[in-house]
Structure 1
Amino acid sequence: MKIKANNIDIEIEDTHPGDAMGRPVVLLIMGLGMQLIAWPPAMVQALVDAGFRVVRFDNRDIGLSQHFDHLGTRNLLWEGFKFRIGLRIKPPYSLQDMARDALGVLDALQIGQAHAVGVSMGGMVAQRLALLAPARVLSLSSIMSSSGARGLPEAQPALTRALLSRPAGKGRQAAIEHSVKLFKAIGSPRFPMDDAMLRERVTAATERSFHPQGILRQMVATVADGARAAALAGITVPTLVVHGKADPLVPFACGEDTARRIPGARLAGIEGMGHDLPPGVVERLLALLIPHFQAASASQRK
């Protein structure tokens, strides 16, 4: 379903539309280049079964939400070099803009407050949302994400080169094969995803929308958000930071740094978790998230 949020078109899915006074809301914010369907159905259903209304959306420039091709694309290598030597990066839009999109989703659906959950880049957007509108955020859950601080460990060079590489051929099938290879490279060693499930997820996403230009613009927005690290001290909502101890893309130290910077944040490390959401990881996330939501809601009622 399309809505207008922050003056742009955003595609959403809402498990309980119009439930203004009933279930507490969980707002799920997906990561770089990922669409709302990347949230595993079993995870969404488990949250619904636990009594929550679950709202998902495609971030701007991805999936069925509004694209920003008129803004052009940037040279990622050059932008990354500027970041390393301390030069200012001017992104086509910012993570703050994306946080305003998330707030706009709540406004459009007339949702007063929600538990904000973000993975990877989505965790950064959720952090920005908690800073932007703390009265609207019941709790924050930052998963496999980072503070964006300088000097934190980065992905290994070989993995970075793989992520920046292009498909071996043209067309959707080449894109699917390329994506499958990348997801295997960043996957959870202790919870390997079934090949058929992985291919099914990648194929569904590619057929729904294939928009690599949007991914490049989101990358630049992520790299440019270096001031967020210092701002995290201003987060006042109950915060859970979850990170895989085997994450090859965003190393565990990034989660540790995020939790250290947010007052009162709880850090939960998961052994053998990489940078994906296979069933075994989802099971462990739910065991952390649901009590976190319940405790935050109970604390607010006091």
Structure 2
Amino acid sequence: MKVRANGIDIEVEDTGGESRPVVLLIMGLNMQLIAWPDNLVRGLVDAGFRVVRHDNRDAGLSTQFDHAGTGNLLWQGLRYRFGMPVQSAYGLQDMADDALGVLDALGIRQAHVVGASMGGMIAQRLAATAPERVSSLVSVMSSSGARGLPGPRGDVVAMLMRRPAGRDEAALVAHSMRFVRLIAGSVYPPDDAALRERLTIALRRAYRPRGLMRQIAAVAADSGREKLLARIACPTLVLHGDADPLLPIACGLDTARRIPGARFVPLAGMGHDLTPQLSQILLPQMVPFLQAAQKPPTT
């Protein structure tokens, strides 16, 4: 369903019933709400939560910003490299305000917020700037954005720069499959047939290559978030794979270090993809944490 949030249209999936505590799931770069594994959503619902997912702006079925153009990403990349301000059509704070607008549109006063990758960055901003709306924060395979943290592995950078062999569906899916297999790692590789189906469904639902470029610019332009993390006061869990080639585990460690009282859990063998099999690793960490954060404080 569509809701009006922060002045734009946001596509939302709402599962589990209105009387339950809410978990808001925020997905990462150019990913759609359907990228959250069904068994992870079902596991949260079975644990007693109402699960709200949405397509970020410029992704999936939410408002696109093609009127804003994409700018010169190479030039912006050089500016980022040398510590100069990066220009972007919108910022991660705008995307955090979108998520807050989703809660407003659904009449939700407070939610547990879970973000993956760029979604974790958005979730961090939401927890820091609207603390009264966030019961707890789970930051998954994300980063504080601080300068000096290690970046993607060389072969991942090369793959990011590579264009698909064609523009037809088969070529686009094959290109995405190569990238996902690369960042997922060897310990929890995605099943090829399931991955092809997942990517084909996503491609047919929405294809937003220019939205991807604008979201990359938004991440690069998001300066100062590492200092903002000290303001987060809610219970926080940071989950990060030790085999992540896109955002190395040092990024997760730094995030946890900067958030007062945050708990860091390294996940052995996990790369940078949420496959259904990884739900069996994530849920045993997330569910007890969320349930404990839901309990009122003892007096």
2:15 matches 1:23: no
What residue in structure 2 maps to residue 217 of structure 1?
A: 214
Amino acid at match of 2:160: L
2:256 matches 1:256: no
2:156 matches 1:159: yes
Query: Of 259, 275, 282, which residue of structure 2 is paired with 1:278?
Result: 275
Amino acid at match of 2:14: D
2:234 matches 1:233: no
Is 1:74–1:220's contact at 8 Å kept on the other side of the alignment? no
TM-score (norm 1): 0.97
Is 1:232–1:262's contact at 8 Å kept on the other side of the alignment? yes
2:124 matches 1:110: no
Shift of 1:299: 4.3
The CA deviation string for residues 259-302 of structure 1, in whole angstroms up to 9 with x for no partner, is 00000000000010000112332111101111111111114475
Runs of 4+ in 1 over 2 A off after TM superposition: 74-77, 299-302
Change (3 A) 1:196 1:139: same
CA distance in 2, matches of 1:280, 1:172: 26
> Greater shift after overlay, 188-197 or 237-246?
188-197
What residue in structure 1 maps to residue 11 of structure 2?
A: 11
The CA deviation string for residues 163-217 of structure 1, in whole angstroms up to 9 with x for no partner, is 1321111222211111011000101321111111111110110010001000100
Pairing of 1:201-212 with structure 2 (within 5 A): 201-212=198-209
Amino acid at match of 1:15: T
Amino acid at match of 1:117: V
DSSP 3-state at the match of 2:142: coil
DSSP 3-state at the match of 2:84: coil
Q: Which runs of 5+ in 2 are unaligned?
A: none
What residue in structure 1 maps to residue 119 of structure 2?
A: 122
TM-score (norm 2): 0.98
What residue in structure 2 maps to residue 173 of structure 1?
A: 170
What residue in structure 2 maps to residue 87 of structure 1?
A: 84
Shift of 1:148: 0.2
Amino acid at match of 2:54: F
Shift of 1:119: 0.2
DSSP 3-state at the match of 1:242: strand
CA distance in 1, matches of 2:293, 2:174: 42
CA distance in 2, matches of 1:301, 1:31: 35
What residue in structure 1 maps to residue 293 of structure 2?
A: 296
CA distance in 2, matches of 1:301, 1:139: 17
Is 1:191–1:279's contact at 8 Å kept on the other side of the alignment? no
2:61 matches 1:75: no
Amino acid at match of 1:158: D
The CA deviation string for residues 123-181 of structure 1, in whole angstroms up to 9 with x for no partner, is 00000000111110000000000000001000122211211321111222211111011
What residue in structure 2 maps to residue 2 of structure 1?
A: 2
What residue in structure 2 maps to residue 42 of structure 1?
A: 39
Is 2:16–2:45's contact at 8 Å kept on the other side of the alignment? no
Query: Of 276, 284, 287, which residue of structure 1 is paired with 2:284?
Result: 287
Is 2:141–2:272's contact at 8 Å kept on the other side of the alignment? yes
Q: Which runs of 5+ in 1 are unaligned?
A: none
What residue in structure 2 maps to residue 52 of structure 1?
A: 49
DSSP 3-state at the match of 2:295: helix
Sequence identity (%): 58
CA distance in 1, matches of 2:144, 2:90: 19
How large is the RMSD of aligned CA atoms in angstroms?
Answer: 1.1
Query: Of 243, 254, 265, which residue of structure 1 is paired with 2:240?
Result: 243
Amino acid at match of 2:99: A
What residue in structure 1 maps to residue 265 of structure 2?
A: 268
DSSP 3-state at the match of 1:192: coil
